[in-house]
C-alpha cells in the first residue's frame, strides 16, 4: 500500500514499510495560510490517497499550483501516469505512457470523489480523493451582500459550501438563491441555524444594529456557534461585539478583508483575523474560497509565559494590579489574538490606500494644470518604482471618466475618519490622512459618495 498526503514535505509509505521522502513546493501562496481543514494538507483541494498493489511501483506526486494541477508519476517506466486537473474540483484528465494500459474513470460524485483504475493486472492503480474540496459539514451563514459580500458568497457557493444568506434589501438574495444558497428571513434566524455566520456591512452602526438590533444576531446565537465580523469598523466596535457574542456563549472572530469588488469576485482577498483562534481554524475552508491568503493577528503566548504574568493585569493609567488566571482563562488567552487587532491593521492599510489615491489624483490634476499630458504622467508612473495594478487601473479609469464603484468613496472616507480617530486615541499624529480626509469630504459634497474612491479626482477639478 502506498499512501500519500500533501503536507509540504511528503512521506510515501511503501508496501515493505520503507519510507521515501519527497517534496511539494506550491507556487501559489493562497493556501500557505490558514492551516488545512483536513488530512494534514495545507490545501484541502489537493488531498490525494494513492494506493497500488504493484510492489515495485514508487509514486511521486507534485503540484506546481496546489489546487490547480496534480501530477502522479511512477519510477516504474511502463507505469508512468499523469493525472491533471484543469478545473481542480470538477474534471480530471488521466493519461498514461504505458501503451497496454486501459484506464477507466468513475465518479459517484462528479466534483468530489474520483477513482482511477487500470485493467492491466500488474499495474492496478487507484487514485482517489476523499472529497478534494470537501464542502464542510458546517453550515455557513452570510449577512450583507454588498460589493464585497456578493463576491465572497459566490465563491463560497462555487466551492461547494452550503450557505444561508440575508440582506437588508431582500432582492439582492435572489441571484444567490438561484445559485443554490438558502434564504434566511432575519439575522437571528441565520445565526441560530448556522454553525458559522459571517457579516460584511458598511460600517460600525450597521454592524452593531445587525447584532444588537431587532431580530439581530444576538437573539439567535447559541453556545458554541461562531460569529465572524468582516466589516471594516473601529476597534471599539469589535470589542463591544466580541463581548456581547461571547456573553451568550458564542465564539467570535473579526476578519476584515483588504481588497476590492474585483478581488472579491476573483477570490483573491487578503483576510486579517483576530479573536478566537479556533474559529479562525474552523473558517479555513471558507477563507481559502474567498481569499488568496489570511493572517491571524496577535501574539499568542504559551501557558508558561501567561502564568509568569498571570498575577499582573493592566488597569487605567498604565498601572498594574494583582490578578489570577484560572485554568479556563489561561487556555482562552493562549488561543486568542486580541479582538480589535485586525480592525486596527485594516484601518491603517486603508488609511495608506486612501491617502495614496488622493495623492495620485492630485498629481494628475497638477499635470493637467501645468500643461503636461496626464497619459504621459501615467505612463512614466507605471514604469517606475510605484508601478502597480492599483495605480494603472485607477488612473486609467480616471482618464476614461469611469467611476463605477470597485470600493465606494464614502467607505474609504469612513475608514480615513476612523483611522484619524484611532491615531488621536493613541496620541499619534496623522496629518497626511487628515489632509486626504478633507479632500474626500469635498468629493462627497460633490455627490461622489456612491462612486469609486478614484472619484476623489473630481474634488480637484470643481
pLDDT at residue 17 tops 80: no
List the grid coordinates of 89. Answer: 474540483
Residue 295's φ and ψ, nearest 5 degrees, are -130, 140
Do the domains 140-298 and 345-459 sit in the same CATH topology, yes or no? no
Q: Mean of the pLDDT values across residues 227-256? A: 97
| Residue 425, CA distances (Å) to 242, 273, 420, 462 in order | 20, 22, 9, 34
Q: 17-49: b or e for each residue (b if 16 or more CB lie within 10 Å)?
A: eeeeeeebebeeebbebbebbebebbbbbbbbe
- Residue 338, pLDDT score: 87
Give tens-digit pLDDT for 50-100: 555 555 544 445 444 444 344 455 455 444 455 554 444 434 445 555 555
pLDDT band at residue 44 using 50, 70 and 90 as cut-offs: very low
pLDDT at residue 49 tops 80: no
Q: Mean of the pLDDT values across residues 395-417? A: 97
- Residue 237, pLDDT score: 97
pLDDT at residue 400 tops 90: yes
> What average pLDDT does the chain have?
76
> What is the architecture of the domain spanning 140-298?
3-Layer(aba) Sandwich (3.40)
- Residue 48, pLDDT score: 46
- Radius of gyration of the CA atoms of the chain, in A: 26
210 compared with 102, residue with greater pLDDT: 210
Q: With pLDDT > 90 as the criterion, what percentage of the chain qualifies?
A: 61
- Residue 365, pLDDT score: 97
- Residue 349, pLDDT score: 98
State the DSSP string of 348-386: HHHHHHHHHHHHHHHHHHHHHHTT--HHHHHHHHTTSTT
345-459 folds as 1.10.1040
Residues with Cβ within 8 Å of residue 407, at least 6 apart in sequence: 147, 260, 261, 452, 453
Q: Mean of the pLDDT values across residues 146-172? A: 96
pLDDT at residue 410 tops 60: yes
pLDDT at residue 431 tops 60: yes
3-state SS record for 45-108 = HHCCEEECCCCCCCEEEEEEECCCEEEEEECCHHHCEEEEEEECCCEEEEEECCCCCCEEEEEE
Domain ranges of the chain: 9-128, 140-298, 345-459
Q: What is the pTM of this model?
A: 0.67
Other Cβ atoms less than 10 A from the Cβ of 191: the count is: 31
| 3-12, 34-43, 122-131: which is most confident | 122-131
Integer Cα distance of 114 and 129 in angstroms:
6
Amino acid at each position: 500500500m502506498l499512501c500519500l498526503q500533501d503536507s509540504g514535505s511528503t512521506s510515501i509509505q511503501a508496501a515493505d514499510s520503507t519510507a521515501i521522502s519527497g517534496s511539494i513546493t506550491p507556487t501559489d501562496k493562497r493556501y500557505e495560510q490558514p492551516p488545512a481543514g483536513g488530512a494534514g494538507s495545507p490545501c484541502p483541494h489537493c488531498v490525494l490517497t494513492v494506493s497500488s498493489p504493484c510492489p515495485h511501483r514508487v509514486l511521486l506526486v507534485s503540484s506546481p499550483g496546489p489546487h490547480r494541477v496534480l501530477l502522479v508519476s511512477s519510477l516504474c517506466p511502463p507505469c508512468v501516469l499523469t493525472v491533471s486537473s484543469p478545473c481542480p474540483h470538477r474534471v480530471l484528465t488521466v493519461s498514461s505512457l504505458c501503451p497496454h494500459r486501459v484506464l477507466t474513470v468513475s465518479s459517484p460524485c462528479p466534483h468530489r470523489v474520483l477513482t482511477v483504475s487500470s485493467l492491466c493486472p500488474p499495474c492496478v492503480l487507484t487514485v482517489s480523493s476523499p472529497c478534494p474540496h470537501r464542502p464542510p459539514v458546517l453550515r455557513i451563514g452570510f449577512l450583507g451582500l454588498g460589493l464585497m459580500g456578493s463576491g465572497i458568497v459566490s465563491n463560497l457557493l462555487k466551492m461547494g459550501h452550503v450557505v444561508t444568506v440575508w440582506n437588508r434589501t431582500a432582492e439582492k438574495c435572489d441571484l444567490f438563491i438561484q445559485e443554490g444558497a438558502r434564504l434566511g428571513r432575519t439575522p437571528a434566524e441565520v445565526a441560530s441555524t448556522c454553525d458559522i455566520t459571517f457579516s460584511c456591512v458598511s460600517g460600525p452602526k450597521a454592524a452593531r444594529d445587525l447584532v444588537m438590533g431587532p431580530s439581530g444576531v444576538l437573539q439567535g446565537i447559541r453556545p458554541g456557534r461562531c460569529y465572524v465580523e468582516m466589516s471594516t469598523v473601529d476597534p471599539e466596535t469589535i470589542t463591544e461585539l466580541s463581548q456581547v457574542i461571547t456573553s451568550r456563549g458564542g465564539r467570535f472572530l473579526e476578519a476584515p478583508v483588504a481588497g476590492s469588488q474585483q478581488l472579491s469576485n476573483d477570490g483573491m482577498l487578503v483576510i486579517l483575523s483576530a479573536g478566537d483562534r479556533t474559529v479562525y481554524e474552523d473558517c479555513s475552508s471558507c477563507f481559502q474560497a474567498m481569499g488568496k491568503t489570511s493572517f491571524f493577528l496577535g501574539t499568542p503566548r504559551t501557558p508558561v509565559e501567561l502564568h509568569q504574568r498571570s498575577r499582573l493585569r493592566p488597569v487605567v493609567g498604565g498601572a498594574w494590579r494583582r490578578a489570577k488566571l484560572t485554568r479556563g482563562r489561561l487556555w482562552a488567552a493562549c488561543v486568542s489574538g486580541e479582538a480589535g487587532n485586525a480592525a486596527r491593521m485594516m484601518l491603517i492599510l486603508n488609511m495608506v490606500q486612501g491617502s495614496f489615491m488622493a495623492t495620485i489624483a492630485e498629481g494628475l490634476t497638477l499635470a493637467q494644470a501645468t500643461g503636461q499630458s496626464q497619459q504621459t504622467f501615467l505612463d512614466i508612473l507605471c514604469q517606475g518604482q510605484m508601478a502597480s495594478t492599483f495605480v494603472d487601473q485607477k488612473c486609467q479609469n480616471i482618464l476614461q471618466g469611469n467611476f463605477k464603484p470597485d470600493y465606494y468613496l464614502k467607505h474609504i472616507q469612513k475608514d480615513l475618519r476612523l483611522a484619524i480617530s484611532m491615531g488621536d486615541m493613541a496620541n499619534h499624529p496623522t496629518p497626511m490622512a487628515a489632509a486626504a480626509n478633507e479632500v474626500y469630504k469635498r468629493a462627497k459634497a460633490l455627490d461622489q459618495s456612491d462612486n469609486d474612491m478614484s472619484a476623489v479626482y473630481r474634488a480637484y477639478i470643481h
